[in-house]
Structure 1
């Protein structure tokens, strides 16, 4: 049976962040994730209390991605931000341990013009190898996520094949792929065959329909087939609902009942 998580950055935005844990639990979710705790609440103990009060598990969030408001989406490949990146990894691993979270995604970031692609790639590989080892010491799995080049032009990682190649170059057993159905539908399509061929390297899955990034059933992806096939593959990781509800969040969850799945 697939294990579904609610992404609290996208879902239940009708409520303040700390109240979203209760909203998710009321809808039946035992697992939650979010992009990053700090923009919502700097008091990590308050987040820990909120999840404990509802009996839910935080299964995933991101490493710092730089100045998000300025459009940065990761600094792991930037040679002049290496120290900042590694400090952020150490701090976030400590936060993850406090929150009981066992998976962290590393946004790899956009390519810059002031360093060569080779310089940035070498920096990325070295930083990921360091971060994977540091996370492993805390019992936390590190992930990297390809983002589609349509909505993220210039991003350093855009396909599953590139992610596989990156894993091979980093060559650390604690690094896996975060596979986002929405992102990869926009980037390459052929979703279930790609997942089937790469399942051993996939640690976490996110979903949203394409192209609007709303709930399943609002776009072009056949999620009824896709989720049935994924269940038949015995995927043991989490499948997160990282979509923008087309209306009120609870109403947007009706697709789960219609597709015969539950939180």
Structure 2
């Protein structure tokens, strides 16, 4: 389902169409990204014209894998599973291989619908049971769900299971090839840092890596993260998955895409 890699390190490069070329209609954003040689990532599929996106011929790397719900509360878990099933059917239209999840539902500002500052051992067990069912659904449909780490200091306060430690714990506990990590290095830098060691530790469970620079959440090269060093580490480790730029353009979108390409060349 993946197109040929753009980077020279054996991994493919993708760009989130939600955050660049924002003055264009969404299908035109997809075309611009695809024509530049990248795969395409997107968020909420329910607001998109999926047949129109399929007609672009772009290769899609991932999209949001649920519309409502959460991992812990029984009613919320039922909502999540129902919308994950809907997302799997939508994924068939544009051949998306990976569907992304968070610790709980997020509103339009990225804030948790039901904030939870502290999670207990029982919460982890309930979340793992929900994710086992999600992974089974992914296996039936030939898709992979990914669980993304988030930062609670800047962008997503109150989201449970936000840290890489928590997402790794849950994905490892489920132990399915159909539940992997969406390892977001922008969020991890704000929360923990030590990114290369984090990638090394998480490598067996990674389904996709997302990047943006800190501060500002713009393209690589605009902040403090040494993405060229991370690219070298990924080549050393033999990573062959997708690296996706989920970042705003600091100035002009085409230039942002080229800065991303250069960082991972």
How far apart in 2 are the matches of 1:260 and 1:171? 30
Question: Which of residues 28, 42, 47 is equivalent to 1:19?
Answer: 28
Change in CA separation of 1:112 and 1:123 when aligned onto 2, cut-off 3 Å: farther
C-alpha distance after superposition, 1:143-194 (max 9, x if no partner): 1011112022221122222222112333433211110110000111010111
C-alpha distance after superposition, 1:171-226 (max 9, x if no partner): 43321111011000011101011101221111100000011101111111011111
The within-5 A match list for 1:40-189 is 41=48, 43-50=49-56, 52=57, 56-66=58-68, 75-109=70-104, 110=112, 112=115, 117=120, 120-151=123-154, 152-189=156-193
The TM-score normalised by the length of structure 1 is 0.86
How much is the aligned-residue C-alpha RMSD, in angstroms? 2.1
- Verify the 8 A CA contact 1:79 1:119 in the aligned structure 2: no
The TM-score normalised by the length of structure 2 is 0.85
1:9 correspondence with 2:12: no
Count the aligned residue pairs.
Answer: 246
- Verify the 8 A CA contact 1:143 1:175 in the aligned structure 2: yes
- Aligned-residue offset at 1:62: 1.0
- Aligned-residue offset at 1:100: 0.8
Q: Mean alpha-carbon deviation: is it higher for 236-245 or for 1-10? A: 1-10
- Aligned-residue offset at 1:16: 0.6
Unaligned runs of 5+ in 1: 67-73
**The residue matched to 1:132 in structure 2 has which SS?**
helix
